[in-house]
Structure 1
């Protein structure tokens, strides 16, 4: 297959590496209410709690290993004869550790820190604390470089440009019925781009093709099919 491939991945890609999907059935996220740890208001109200939460997530991600799906997508990016745009909603770096050379993190990354005062970014230490000074301006305004609820995802223009030049849109391990996945799949259909979902279970979104199963099985099989073996 030639032409560009646009891949949007979500929590289901990393679930088999031991990282929990976004919300458990009880509505909690790593035993916390999302509203208490993943909004600007939460950070303003209790920054220590938010920093502890992301320190925990950073440690969990560091202990996790890339799975066969991450490695397969890195192989696709390396061997496909057209561009492969890897866009992820995940904040872990398992795609990069699986061998991917370029990943667009639309929701930020656990490995990065952000100054809320001057917007300087730098590699995050494993343990972050609220009083940590920004290395650029010195302000004690360190926060995780994560897109929280109510904030605008990163790289949206770049993502749209990548989608427009692609011939196939693939959603992996993410719902196709909520945004941004719903918006991207709608945009792809408007451009006449073929759409595909690879997920543990079909999300109910509108796709030209749907394959169900564990990511570590269906993603490598699909990549092998695209690359011819």
Structure 2
């Protein structure tokens, strides 16, 4: 199966990747529903909503600062780096991710579409202001602040620049993802359940337009029935094996 997947990937002219939480699990990024300790008396889903933010922005920001502090200690794993290398080789044209952990960018991926936002960015609740706390170098300072963050332009509250429960995906990012899927002749689907729509349409679009679907997942998912190749293993194991064969095939 690895050989078949490697040949498809090496021969592709416009390959894309679609990733979910599974690719970051081996970097130690805790899953959203895996949080416990301080937050075991809350349901995280109840803290990740516009309604929760309006009701108690202090509590929501405390939760997200806690998540930021946990996630920033993670590092890209060999699967993230393999995707970045495939991009450098000219095989992979883009990575579309449902993750908010920023690990694809840290690994070196350039053409990255973040469907669910980025946990290290903030955006204003009233105007177009955004701030990337990593790029501004203010992450440590921000995590230590006790007051609610406010927009330097209009004074309104800032919120995490992520998609909360009940919110639509960013239109621009979703449109770009769909256009890439329509062009793609292959999609690598890594570590996603394939049941969260509209993002789960991406592999289906590739399939419907004649492209190939390679799925990497330890378990079957909503994508498995349409996969041309299903690699039942972890993201790191599969991508290491794939890369070793692809590098030989492309010379």
Q: 1:129 Cα deviation (Å)?
A: 6.1
Q: Does the CA-based 8 Å contact 2:29-2:71 persist in structure 1?
A: yes
In the other structure, the counterpart of 1:188 is 206
1:52 matched to 2:62? The reply is: yes
Cα distance change on mapping 1:24 and 1:133 into 2, 3 Å: closer
Q: Does the CA-based 8 Å contact 1:129-1:142 persist in structure 2?
A: no
Q: 1:24 Cα deviation (Å)?
A: 3.9
Q: Which whole-Å CA distance do the structure 1 matches of 2:103 and 2:20 have between them?
A: 12
Pairs within 5 Å for 1:132-151: 132-139=149-156, 141-151=157-167
Q: Which whole-Å CA distance do the structure 1 matches of 2:150 and 2:66 have between them?
A: 21
Matched residue of 2:70: which SS? helix
Q: Does the CA-based 8 Å contact 2:96-2:115 persist in structure 1?
A: yes
Matched residue of 1:228: which SS? helix
1:91 matched to 2:100? The reply is: yes
TM-score by length of 1: 0.89
Q: Which whole-Å CA distance do the structure 1 matches of 2:216 and 2:23 have between them?
A: 10
Q: 1:79 Cα deviation (Å)?
A: 0.9
- How many residues align? The count is 225
Matched residue of 2:72: which SS? helix
Q: Which whole-Å CA distance do the structure 2 matches of 1:95 and 1:47 have between them?
A: 29
Q: 1:65 Cα deviation (Å)?
A: 1.1
- Higher-RCO chain (CA-CA 8 Å, sequence separation at least 6): 2
* Structure whose CA Rg is larger: 2
TM-score by length of 2: 0.82
Structure 2, unmatched stretches of 5+, are: 1-10
Q: 1:181 Cα deviation (Å)?
A: 4.5
Considering only aligned residues, what root-mean-square deviation do their CA atoms show, in Å? Answer: 2.3
Higher helix share goes to which structure? 2
